[in-house]
Structure 1
Amino acid sequence: MLSLFSQEYRASWFRGVGAARRDVLAGMVGTFALIPEVIAFSFVAGVDPQVGLYASFVIGIVIAFAGGRPAMISGAAGSVALVVGALVQAHGLAYLLAATVLAGAFQIVFGLLKLDVLLRYVSRSVRTGFVNALAILIFSAQVPQMVGVDWHTWALIAAGLAIIYLLPRLTRAVPSPLVCIVVLTAITMAVPMPVHTIADLGRLPDGLPHLALPDVPFSLATLRIVFPYALAMAAVGLLESMMTATVVDDLTETASSKARECTGLGLANMAAGLFGGIAGCGMIGQTVGNVRYGGRGRLSTLTAGVFLLVVLVPLRPWVAQVPVAALVAIMIMVSVSTFSWGSLADLVRHPKVSSVVMLATVAVTVATHDLAAGVVVGVLLSGVFFAFKVTRLMDVSVGHDPGSDTRIYTVSGQVFFASADVFAQRFDLRETAPQVRIDLTRAHLWDVTAVAALEDVVARLRRHGTAVTVVGLNQASASLVDRHAPRVREGAGLAPALDPA
C-alpha cells in the first residue's frame, strides 16, 4: 500500500501552482455535476436528498486522502442506490446507515486481501461496453429535463453547449463548464423565465452533518437484515470504482493502486454511514469531466468534496438558482466525451466475438440501469468465448509405428474442463494395436476434469488388453496426475518422460 509519506503520494498532491489551479477549478465543475445526480439517486434509494449529498461530501474528503486513484471523484452513486431501495422501504434509514458502515468494512477487507486482481478478468471489450453504456445512461438521465419544457430551457441548453465547446478555442484559463454555470445563472436571475432550478430538484441541506452511530439494535437479528445488502453494496461499489479507476488510468496514461482504492473506499463509506450518508463509489461521469478539464491530482478530488459543502451551506441561496439547463448541458458534454466513438468503427475491424461482448455489455447495462449486471454478463460471455476458442485449438493426431506395432496419439494444446470431452472423443477405445503411446509433450493438463478424461481413456484401453504408455507430461501436469489419477502412471511398459514445466 502506498505510504502517506512516500514521494509518489506527495507528488499526487503537490504538482505546482498551475496544476493546483487546474485541479481546483476542475473539482468545482465536478461539484456542480454531482449535485443533480446525487439528488436523483437519493430518490431512487428512497431517502431524503441531503442523505446523498452528505455522503458525497464525506466520501469526497476521505477518498482524497485514502484513495488509490488521484483525480477520481466518488459520491453517492445510482448503482448503489438501486441495491438499497428495498432495505429502506422495509426497515428505514437507520438500517441503511448500518448497512453502509458494514459495506465499508467489507471493502476494507477486500482491499487488504488484494481482491482487486479480479479486475484482470475484465476484458477490454467489457471495459469499452461499460464506458459506452455509461455515456448512454448519462445522456438518458438528462432526457426528463428536456421533455415537456418550453423554448427557454432549450435555448439555455443550446447556449450552455455553445459556451462549453466554443470558449476553449479562445481560452482555457477557466473551465468552460464553470463559465456555463455562471453565465446561465446570471441570465436567469437578470431575466426571469419559466425554467427549473436546482431548488426544484429537492431540498438542499441547511446544516452540517454530525457524527452518530446508526440507531439500530446491535444484535444478530440486525446483522441478518443488513448483511446481504451490505455485501451487495460493497461488491457493486468496488466494481464501479475499479472500472472508473481503469478509465482514468487510460485517460491519463498513469497507473493507480486498485487495492488502496478498495480500502480507501471502505474507509470513506464507513465515515459516510457514521455521518448520516448512503454508501457511494467512483462516479465515472463526474470523474471524466474532472479529468477532461485538467483535474489530475488529489486536490481536485478534495475540492469536489469541500466545495460541495461550501455550495450546500453558505452559498445555498445562490446555488438554488442555478438553472438545471446548465447542468444538462454539462452532462451532455460529459456523455459525448465519455462515449468511445472509435468503438463504432471497431465493430467492423475487431473479431465478431469481441464486438458481441461489447454490445451485450451495453445492452444489459442500459436495459437494467445496473452497471454491475452489464459487466458480469460481459465477463461471462468473454469467458465462454475464450473457452470455446481454446477448445478449438486443442488437437489429437494419430500415427502408427510399424516397427513396434504401436499406435501413437499426439496431443497438442490445452486440455481443461471445456476441451476434455473433445480430447476423450479423439481416441479409438476399441483399439486393435497391442500398444498405445499417448504423447503429451505439446499439451498441458489444467484441471481435474482433464486428468479424469485422461484416466478414463487409459483405463478403457487397458481393459481391452492394450498396453498404454503416457509420455511427455510436463511437471505441472505430472503433479496433477500423481495427485488425482496415480493409476495412469502405473503398469508394465509405462515410462513417462517429464519435460520441464
Structure 2
Amino acid sequence: MTFDFNAYLRQWRTDGAGARRDILAGIVVALALIPEAIGFSIIAGVDPRVGLYASVAIAMTIALIGGRPGMISAATAAVAVLVGPLVRAHGVEYLFAATILMGLIQIVAGLLRVHLVMQFVSRSVITGFVNALAILIFLAQLPQLTHVGWQTYAMVAGGLAIIYGFPRLTRAVPSPLIAIVVLSAISIGLGLPVHTVGDMGKLPEGLPGFALPQVPLTLETLRIIFPTALTMAAVGLLESLLTAQIVDDMTDTDSDKRQECAGQGGANIVAALFGGMGGCAMIGQSVINVTSGGRSRLSTFVAGAFLLFLLAVLGPWVGRVPMPALVAVMIMVSIGTFSWNSIRNLRRHPPTSSAVMLATVIVVVATRDLSMGVLAGVLLSGIFFAAKVQRMFAVERLLSAEGDVATYRVAGQIFFASVDRFTRAFQAERVATAVRIDVSAAHFWDISGVAALDKIVARLRREGRAVEVVGYNRASADIVDRFALHDKTGVELGAVPH
C-alpha cells in the first residue's frame, strides 16, 4: 500500500470558512467528551484522569494517523465495560499493558486487511446499529433527568430550542456551542441548582506524563492481559469501522478502512503510554462533529487539543458547565443519529431485512453491547441469505422417447443449504438405465455440493446405471476436479451439452 502524501495534506487543508467550522466543531466535541470520559472511567473502575487523558491522546493521535477524516475517537463505553474485571483483579497498570497489546493487535489487523469483513455486514445491520446507538445515547441521559428540579428540565428545553432555532439566524457558529455557552452563563450567573460537570468526578490538574506500564515482562503477564486485549481490539475495531461507514454516508465521501484499523492501534498505544485507557471511534461525538461542520483531520485534532487545554488551564471553569446543556446536545445527537426513515421502511422493505434491523436494535439495547447486536444481525442476515439462495434451485427430469435415458437439468446454486434437495431429486430414479446430469445452469459453491454430487453418482452406478455429468462452468469444474472422489469433469470447461 503506497502512501499519497498530497492526498493526506488535502485531508488537513480547508478554506478559511472550512477551517473555522472545523475549529468550532472540535470545541463542541471537546466539551461533550468530558462527561462521557468521566462516566466511562467510572464504568471501568479507574480514576477519571484515565478516561480523560485517553480521550486527549486518542483524538490527537487518530487525527494524525487515522483513515477517516472528521471522525472522533476517544475513550468509549464499549471498551470500558470490558476492562473492569482486569482492573479489579490486577490494577490499573495491567490495564495500560492490555491497552498497548490491544493497539498492537489492531495494527496487525490492519496489515491483514481485517477491515474487509465489513463487506459481510448488511445495510440492515448498519441501520439497526445506528438506531440502537441512538436509543442508548438517549437512555444514557435519563440519570441526569431523574430526581432533579424544574430548572434542569427548563434548561434542557432551552438548550434544544437554541440548538434547533439558532441555525435559522446563522450557521457561522455551531448551535450546540452557543447552547453550552448561553446555558453555562445563565447557570453560573443565577446560581441555579443543577448538576455540573464537576459533579461527575474530579477533573485532573496539569498535563499527563509519559510512562511505561509498571508490570513484569513475563509470559504470566501476557496470559493475564491477552484475553482482555483481544476482546478490546475486536470490539474497538468493529465499532470504529461501523462508525467510519456511517460518517462516509453522512459526508458522501470514502475513507481508508485499512489505515483506520492501524491508526486505532497506534492511538491506543499512545493513550496507554500517557496513562489512558483504550478507546475507539464514537458515533455520538462523530455526529456532533459532522453536524457542526467538522470535515477534515483538523476538527478531530482540535477536539483533543482543546480538551487538553480545558483540563490543564480551565479546569475549574469547565467543572461549572451545567450538565443540562450537555444533555441537550446529546439528545440532539440521539435524534439526529436515529434513522427515522427506517420506521417508514418497515412495511416497504422485505420482511427479512426489517427483521434483521429490529433484531440488531433489540439485542444491542437489551445487552448494552454493540458487538453482540451486530453479531446477531450478521448471523441472522446469513441465515436469511442462505434460505433465500436455497430456494433458488430446481431440478427438471426429462425421459427419452425410448424410456432408457433420463436427463436431469439442474438449475441454481448448489451449496450446503441446498444439497438436501439436490440429493432427494435423484432418489426416485427407478426406470432409466442411463442418467445424464446437466449442470450447465447450476453452480457448485463448496465441498458440500461436490460431496452431494459424489453421493448421487456413486449410488446410481452401484445400481448399474451409466452416469454422465455435463455442462460444468469453469469454477464448478475446478472445485469438482479438486475434491470429487467418484467423478471428475472429464469435459471441456464451460462446455454446454446438446
Structure 1 residue 446 corresponds to structure 2 residue 445 = yes
Q: Match of 1:333?
A: 332
TM-score by length of 2: 0.98
> Does 2:183 align with 1:184?
yes
Residue in 2 that maps onto 1:31? 30
Q: Does 1:498 align with 2:493?
A: yes
Cα distance in 2 for residues equivalent to 1:320 and 1:14:
33
**In 2: Cα distance, 1:387 partner to 1:452 partner:** 18
1:97-121 per-position Cα deviation (integer Å, ceiling 9, x unaligned): 1000000000000001111000000
Counterparts of 1:33 and 1:190 in 2: how far apart (Å)? 21
> Which amino acid is 1:203 matched to?
K
SS at match of 1:488: coil
1:20-49 superposed Cα distances (whole Å, 9 cap, x missing partner): 100000111111111111111111111111
Aligned-pair distance for 1:82? 1.3
- The 8 Å contact of residues 62 and 268 in structure 1, kept in 2 or not, is answered as yes
CA contact (8 A) 1:401 1:407 kept: yes
Distance in 2 (CA, whole Å) between partners of 1:214 and 1:404 is 81
Q: Which residue of 1 aligns with 2:55?
A: 56
Q: 1:486: how far off?
A: 4.0
- SS of the aligned residue for 2:63 comes to helix
Following TM superposition, by how much is the alpha carbon of 1:430 offset from its aligned partner in structure 2, in angstroms?
Answer: 4.7
Q: Measured at CA, do residues 486 and 497 of structure 1 come closer, stay the same or move farther in structure 2, by a change above 3 Å? A: farther
Q: Does 1:239 align with 2:234?
A: no
> Cα offset for 1:404?
7.3
Amino acid paired to 1:151: W
Alignment of 1:144-159 (within 5 A): 144-159=143-158
Say if 1:104 and 1:270, in contact at 8 Å, map to a contact too: yes
Deviations 1:321-363 (A, max 9, x none): 0000000000000000000000000101000000000000000
Question: What's the CA shift string for 1:244-301, capped at 9, x where partnerless?
Answer: 0000000000000000000000000011111111110000000011001100000000
Q: Distance in 1 between the 2:302 and 2:130 partners?
A: 25
Matched, 1:20 2:14: no
Aligned residues: 496
- Residue of structure 1 in register with 2:380 after alignment: 381
Specify the SS of the correspondent of 1:440.
strand
Paired residues of 1:431 and 1:466 also in contact (CA < 8 A): no
Which deviates further from its counterpart, 239-248 or 414-423? 414-423
Letter in 2 for 1:124: R
Aligned match of 1:408? 407
- Give the CA deviation at 1:392: 0.3
Aligned to 1:366: 365
Using the alignment, how far apart are the partners of 1:405 and 1:231 within structure 2?
62
How far apart are 1:498 and its partner, in Å?
Answer: 2.4
| Equivalence for 2:110 | 111
Question: Which residue does 2:9 correspond to in 1?
Answer: 10
How far apart, CA to CA, are the structure 2 residues paired with 1:401 and 1:27?
Answer: 77
CA shift at 1:497, angstroms?
Answer: 4.8
Cα RMSD (Å): 1.3
d(CA) in 2 for partners of 1:135 and 1:475?
Answer: 48
Alignment of 1:94-173 (within 5 A): 94-173=93-172
For residues 398 and 94 of structure 1, do their structure 2 counterparts lie closer, same or farther at Cα, with a shift above 3 Å needed?
Answer: same
In the aligned structure 2, how far is the partner of 1:368 from the partner of 1:428? 47
1:298 aligns to what?
297
Contact 1:429 / 1:457 at 8 angstroms: preserved in 2?
no
Higher mean displacement: 413-422 or 126-135? 413-422
Inter-partner Cα distance in structure 2 for 1:487 and 1:422: 20
Amino acid at match of 2:376: V
Q: Distance in 1 between matches of 2:118 and 2:401?
A: 53
AA partner of residue 259 (structure 1): R
Instruction: Give the aligned residue type for 1:378.
Output: G
Is the 8 Å Cα contact of residues 2 and 260 (structure 1) preserved in structure 2? no
Runs of 4+ in 1 over 3 A off after TM superposition: none
Q: Which runs of 5+ in 2 are unaligned?
A: none
Residues in 1 aligned to 2:344 and 2:359: alpha-carbon distance in whole angstroms: 17
3-state SS of the aligned residue for 1:75? strand
Q: Which runs of 5+ in 1 are unaligned?
A: none
Aligned to 1:128, the other structure's residue is in SS state helix
For 1:93, the aligned partner's letter is V
Alpha-carbon deviation of 1:432? Answer: 2.3
